[in-house]
Structure 1
Amino acid sequence: MRISPILLWILFPGCWAVTGPGTVHGPLGGLVTVRCQYERGYKDYPKFWCRAGPLWCSSGHIIETPGSEAEVKRGRVTIRDNHTLSAFTVTVENLKLADAGTYHCGVERTGLLDLRATVELTVSPAVHTSTSTGRPPATTEQPSGAASTPITLSMSSNDTHALSQLSNVHFLLLFVWKVPIFLCIIWILPSLGMDRNLRKQD
C-alpha cells in the first residue's frame, strides 16, 4: 500500500524541510561533496551527516555542526553550514570502497524527530592501464658497467644497390684492363724465351 505525500506530511510534519542530491559519486582515493538544503527557519539548528541504519542513523552522527557557520572537521569528513544560502555541505576525502552506502544529511531537533534527506554514495575503483603486451617499454640507455652487446648492422636497399654497382665496375675493369694485360703477358713470354735461346746459340 502506497502512502500519499499528504498523509506523510500530516504524520511527519517538516519531512520535506531538508532536501539532498539523492545520489553522489566519487573516485577511490578522491573526494566527494554533498550539499543539502533546508528551510530558513532551521538555520540555527545543528546540521549532521550520518550513515543510515534500519530506522535512523547507525552508530550516531559521523559529524555535525554546533548550529553556527563554523567549519567542523572530523577525520576525513568536513561539514560547514551557510545560513545565507540555507544549505550545508559535507565533504568526504580520501574515499574508500567501504565508504559506499546510504547516508542521511539532516537537521537535529531536540525532543523532536530529526529532519533528514537520504543520500546514496557510490565509490568507483581506480582503473589501471597497461600495455597490450604487459611488458615494460624498452629503454635506449644501457646501465654503466654492463657488458657490451653485439651490434648487428643492417644495410638498406641503397647500400645494396651501391655495392652491386661497384661489382659491375670491377667486372668491367677486369675485361678492359686485366684481360688485355694478361694476353700481352702470354704473347710476350714466348718471344722472350726465343730471344734467350738465340743468345745462347751465339
Structure 2
Amino acid sequence: MWLPPALLLLFLPGCFSLTGPGSVSGTLGSSLSLQCQYEEAYKGYNKYWCRGQYDTGCTSIVETKGGEKEERNGRVSIRDSADDLTITVTIENLSEDDAGSYWCKIQTIWILDIWSRDPSVPVEVYVSPATPAPRETTVPATTPALQRADPGQNISIKEASAQYPWSLLSSVPFLLLIFLKVPLFLSMLSAVLWVNRPQQGPGGRQ
C-alpha cells in the first residue's frame, strides 16, 4: 500500500513534537543554557539530554523524573517547565570537551519496531576560547615636587630683618644703601664741616 510522504511523517514518532535551537555556542569557563519546546501531549513524560552523533545511540547525561524539579549530573542540569512546555538544559564551566552533538529527547513507550524511537531534536554545541579582558594600565600618580617656601616671602622688610637679619646683607636695597647713600652722606658731612671750620684772621687770630 502506497502512502503519501506527508502522511508517512504522521507515523514517525517525534515529528514536529519537539523543537530546539539547532545549535548553541558559549565561551570557555562560562555557562551555557538552551531550551527545547515540546507539545502538551508530552506533559508528565521524562525528558533527558544525551550526547552522540545519532539519537538512537546517544548516551544519556541527565534526565528529569517526571516533575519540574531541576535534576543535575555534575556540571549539567535539566529542568522541565510544564507550564511553558519547555526543557531547559544548562552546562556550567564550559570546556573544550563539551563541544559536540547532543539531543533533547522525551522518554516514551512505543511498540518495539523499526519505527519506534523517542521524540528527539538535535542540538550542536560549540565552545569558543574566552576573549581575554583588556589589561588595565595603571599610571602611578605623580606627586608634585614640594616647593620650599621662601622664609622672606609675604612678610615685610621689618619682619624679615627681625626674623632673618642676615638676609638683608645680601639684599639689593641694602647694597644700594651702602654704595650710594653712605658716600653721599659722607660728602654732605664733609661739606658741613668745611663750612663750619674755624676761620683764622690776620695775625693768626681766629
Q: Which TM class, normalised by the smaller chain length?
A: 0.5 to 0.7
TM-aligned CA deviation for residue 49 of structure 1: 0.8
Matched-pair contact (CA < 8 Å) for 1:57–1:104? no
CA distance in 1, matches of 2:139, 2:75: 38
Amino acid at match of 2:107: E
Amino acid at match of 1:122: Y
RMSD value over aligned CA atoms?
A: 4.1
Bigger Rg over Cα: 2
Corresponding position of 2:89: 90
Corresponding position of 2:180: 180
TM-score, length of structure 2 as denominator length: 0.60
Which blocks of at least 5 consecutive residues in structure 1 are unaligned?
141-150, 163-169, 192-202
Corresponding position of 1:103: 102
Change over 3 Å in CA distance of 1:175–1:58 after alignment to 2: farther
Amino acid at match of 2:135: S
TM-aligned CA deviation for residue 34 of structure 1: 1.5
Amino acid at match of 1:66: K
1:64 and 2:63 are equivalent in the alignment? yes
TM-aligned CA deviation for residue 184 of structure 1: 4.3
Structure 1 runs (4+) greater than 4 angstroms displaced: 151-155, 184-188
Change over 3 Å in CA distance of 1:68–1:50 after alignment to 2: same
TM-score, length of structure 1 as denominator length: 0.61
Amino acid at match of 1:138: P
The 5-angstrom pairing of residues 18-97 of structure 1 reads: 18-53=18-53, 55-56=54-55, 60-97=59-96
TM-aligned CA deviation for residue 85 of structure 1: 2.6
Matched positions, count = 166
Matched-pair contact (CA < 8 Å) for 1:30–1:94? yes
Corresponding position of 1:115: 119
CA distance in 1, matches of 2:181, 2:117: 122
TM-aligned CA deviation for residue 100 of structure 1: 2.8
Change over 3 Å in CA distance of 1:114–1:139 after alignment to 2: farther
